[in-house]
Amino acid sequence: MAGVPPDYFSATGQLWGNPVYNWKALQKQDFKWWIQRFEAMLDYVDIIRIDHFRGFEAYWAVEKGEETAENGEWVTAPGDELFATIRQKLGKLPVLAEDLGVITPEVEALRDKYEFPGMKVLQFAFGSDPGNPFLPFNYQRNAVVYTGTHDNDTTVGWWNSANDWEKRNLWMYLGCISNDGIHWDLIRLAFSAIANQAIIPLQDIFGLGNEARMNFPGKPEGNWEWRYHSEMLTQDLSTKLRDLTILYGRAPQK
């Protein structure tokens, strides 16, 4: 079964329950299934986010019958061969690599070889030292910055539960906490970063708290239930986002 070992999100890991890919069979078919999958996806979207990108370098395999993901092993995957074949068939892929979790130099090398941007999450930035890779001054341009992802609490929810150390570090980094709310402080920080792309969850634009959280990793039920009402998308929010987009050079240039 597929999953991940214990990490930031879960003390017992995440046991997803689905079978791992039969890579030997896929290799024999010259990755035809994967190529068709990418072709189908690109009929619908402009950029493909590959969840759990590290699984293309090595994946966590857990024996059937286990109730948690603690007892598993890393198994090498043919990610380099896969992406080389796809690039040969389809050209350079518009892919974003979700490179969070247990990331090794081998995973980073695979990501960088195919020039896939990785993810930078601001909620992870302020709990350690200046070497933290999620701090904006440590970014490279080929990256996507988020205030938080679907697996995180909302920014307001995160701030309300953050420890004093994180709050102090963020306050010192920003110089102050604005009257607009902590969510707009992190949105502004994301937009001002050098990462080529910035993605802001709608819950953060609305400034919603823990009640609007999208997903709890490792929790099998009660996720993905949050919805918004169209009247929440106001002209004031649109204007504010437009102004920040222009201010930080993220608007199309004339």
Return the active site residues: 51, 98, 151
DSSP code string of 153-175 = PPHHHHHHH--HHHHHHHHHHHS
φ, ψ of residue 197 in degrees (nearest 5): -130, 150
4 burial level (CB within 10 Å; 0-12, 13-18, 19+): buried
Taking every pair of Cα atoms in the chain, the longest distance, rounded to a whole number of angstroms, is 59
CA 143 to CA 120: how far, in whole Å?
A: 7
CA 47 to CA 95: how far, in whole Å?
A: 6
- The DSSP secondary-structure symbol of 53 reads G
CA 73 to CA 57: how far, in whole Å?
A: 13
CA 80 to CA 58: how far, in whole Å?
A: 11
CA 219 to CA 223: how far, in whole Å?
A: 8
Q: What is the pairing mode between strands 118-121 and 143-146?
A: parallel
Decide: 96 and 41 in contact? Cβ < 8 Å: no
Residue 222, C-beta contacts closer than 8 angstroms, at least 6 positions apart: 216
